[in-house]
Amino acid sequence: MSIVVENVTKLYGEQKALDNVSFNIQPGEIVGFLGPNGAGKSTMMKIITGFIPANEGKTEVCNLDVTVHPLKTKHKIGYLAEQNPLYYDMYVREYLSFIAGVFKLKNNKEIINSIIKTVGLSLEQNKKIGALSKGYKQRVGLAQALLHDPEVLILDEPTTGLDPNQLEEIRNLIKKIGSQKTVMLSTHIMQEVEAICDRVIIINKGKIVANDKTENLANIFNKKTVIKIEFESKINEKQLRSIDGVLKIEHDGENQYLIQSKTNIDIRNNLFQFAIDQNTSVLTLQKEELKLEDIFKQLTTQET
Residues near Mg ion (CB under 5 A) are 41-42, 82
- Judged by beta carbon, residue 44 or residue 132, the one nearer ligand ADP is 44
For residue 247, count other CB atoms closer than 10 A to its CB: 15
Query: What are the two backbone dihedrals, phi and then psi, of residue 221, each rounded to the nearest 5 degrees?
Result: -80, -25
Binding of residue 40 to ligand ADP (CB under 6 A): yes
For residue 153, the minimal CB distance to ligand ADP (Å) is 17
Residue whose C-alpha is closest to residue 28's, from 206, 133, 180, 242: 180
Interacting residue with ligand ADP among 38, 53, 85, 161 (CB under 6 A)? 38
Beta bridge partners of 15: 12
Binding of residue 41 to ligand ADP (CB under 6 A): yes
Decide: residue 157, CB within 10 A, 0-12 exposed, 13-18 middle, 19+ buried. Answer: buried
For residue 44, the minimal CB distance to ligand ADP (Å) is 7
Beta bridge partners of 78: 153
For residue 36, the minimal CB distance to ligand ADP (Å) is 7
- Judged by beta carbon, residue 35 or residue 135, the one nearer ligand ADP is 35
- Report the residue closest to Mg ion, judged by CB: 42
For residue 101, count other CB atoms closer than 10 A to its CB: 10
- Contacting range for ligand ADP; rule: CB under 6 A; set: 40-48, 71-79, 102-110, 244-252: 40-48
Report how far apart, in Å, the C-alpha atoms of 97 and of each of 105, 113, 164 are: 9, 11, 31
Binding of residue 78 to ligand ADP (CB under 6 A): no
Q: What is the largest CA-CA distance in the chain?
A: 83
- Judged by beta carbon, residue 51 or residue 91, the one nearer ligand ADP is 51
Residue 199 interacting partner from Mg ion, ligand ADP, none (CB closer than 5 to 8 Å by kind): none
Q: Could you give the CA distance from residue 65 to residue 276 in angstroms, rounded to a whole number? A: 64
Element (H, E) at 75: helix 70-76
- Contacting range for ligand ADP; rule: CB under 6 A; set: 23-31, 34-42, 87-95, 224-232: 34-42
- Contacting range for ligand ADP; rule: CB under 6 A; set: 36-44, 159-167, 213-221, 278-286: 36-44
Do residues 30 and 178 touch, judged by C-beta distance below 8 A? yes
DSSP annotation of 291:
P
Binding of residue 158 to ligand ADP (CB under 6 A): no
Q: Are strands 3-12 and 182-187 parallel, antiparallel or unpaired?
A: unpaired
Binding of residue 37 to ligand ADP (CB under 6 A): yes
Binding of residue 205 to ligand ADP (CB under 6 A): no
Do residues 186 and 42 touch, judged by C-beta distance below 8 A? yes
Binding of residue 84 to ligand ADP (CB under 6 A): no
Q: Could you give the CA distance from residue 280 to residue 123 in angstroms, rounded to a whole number? A: 71
Interacting residue with ligand ADP among 1, 7, 12, 172 (CB under 6 A)? 12
- Contacting range for ligand ADP; rule: CB under 6 A; set: 22-30, 38-46, 68-76, 229-237: 38-46
- Judged by beta carbon, residue 46 or residue 148, the one nearer ligand ADP is 46
Element (H, E) at 172: helix 164-178
Binding of residue 202 to ligand ADP (CB under 6 A): no
Binding footprint of ligand ADP on the chain (CB under 6 A): 12, 17, 35, 37-43
